[in-house]
A and B are shown apart, each in its own frame.
Chain A
Amino acid sequence: GENVEQHPSTLSVQEGDSAVIKCTYSDSASNYFPWYKQELGKRPQLIIDIRSNVGEKKDQRIAVTLNKTAKHFSLHITETQPEDSAVYFCAAIPTSGTYKYIFGTGTRLKVLA
């Protein structure tokens, strides 16, 4: 069935450095790829998303890139700040008749001051 692999599971960076989280999906028909941020004890919230007709999308310090040929997409956070510390989940949405979001296993990002 559909599968999304997410790496790394934990990531520590110094404040001001960049962080990159990568996800690989299995269903080549997937066409929507959101990224969610979950702070400790809070609900997941969308931070950025990308559709399959776009290769890159940016929103201030956050960017997502999509490589449809290789079936992977990545989240890039530049100039990291302590408030970026959270768990990040990627997801892929197959178009093969299912209505389910396939989430990655999450990446715990720690930004060290």
Chain B
Amino acid sequence: NAGVTQTPKFRILKIGQSMTLQCAQDMNHNYMYWYRQDPGMGLKLIYYSVGAGITDKGEVPNGYNVSRSTTEDFPLRLELAAPSQTSVYFCASSHRVAVSSYNEQFFGPGTRLTVL
């Protein structure tokens, strides 16, 4: 298994440009998440999904959009990039089989985004 993969690894955007960060997992996990991590800081949840066709906002969703058309893929769309979106973006996935059951989140390698 490749686990959680993300592309690209690095990207530089100009202010106002748009881009899509790709995330895929091959573990058949139902839950997927997008986080951003600013330098020296913790993880902030942007969006998450509990299954194909279902997405919800996290704590910092403004300026981003997501979709979940398949179990495997969870792309993150940045519209009208701003310098405040300069960050490292991590995608993660986990599997939940019961209401009271939680399991490890597996993280992708991250995408380092700079907006100039």
Contact = CB atoms under 8 A, between A and B. Distances in A.
Decide if A and B are genuine partners.
yes
B104 A46 contact: yes
Contacts of B31: 99
Interface in A93-113: 93, 95, 99-101, 103-106
Given A43-B90, A99-B50, A34 B42 contact: no
B42 A31 contact: no
Nearest to B109: A43
Given A31-B102, A100-B48, A43 B42 contact: no
A96 to B, nearest CB: 11
A17 B110 CA distance: 32
Interface residues of B, number: 21
A93 B58 CA distance: 14
Contacts of A42: 109
Contacts of A44: 43, 90, 107
Contacts of A93: 102
- Chain A binding surface SS class: loop
B105 A101 contact: yes
A89 B50 CA distance: 23
Interface residues of A, number: 19
B52 to A, nearest CB: 15
A49 to B, nearest CB: 7
A93 B48 CA distance: 14
B108 A34 contact: no
A75 to B, nearest CB: 16
Nearest to B112: A41
A95 B107 contact: no
Nearest to A105: B42
Interface in B59-101: 90, 96, 99-100
Interface in A27-49: 31-32, 34, 42-46, 49
A97 to B, nearest CB: 9
Nearest to A102: B45
A66 B108 CA distance: 28
13 contacts: A34-B105, A42-B109, A43-B110, A44-B90, A46-B104, A93-B102, A95-B99, A95-B100, A99-B31, A100-B58, A101-B45, A105-B42, A106-B42
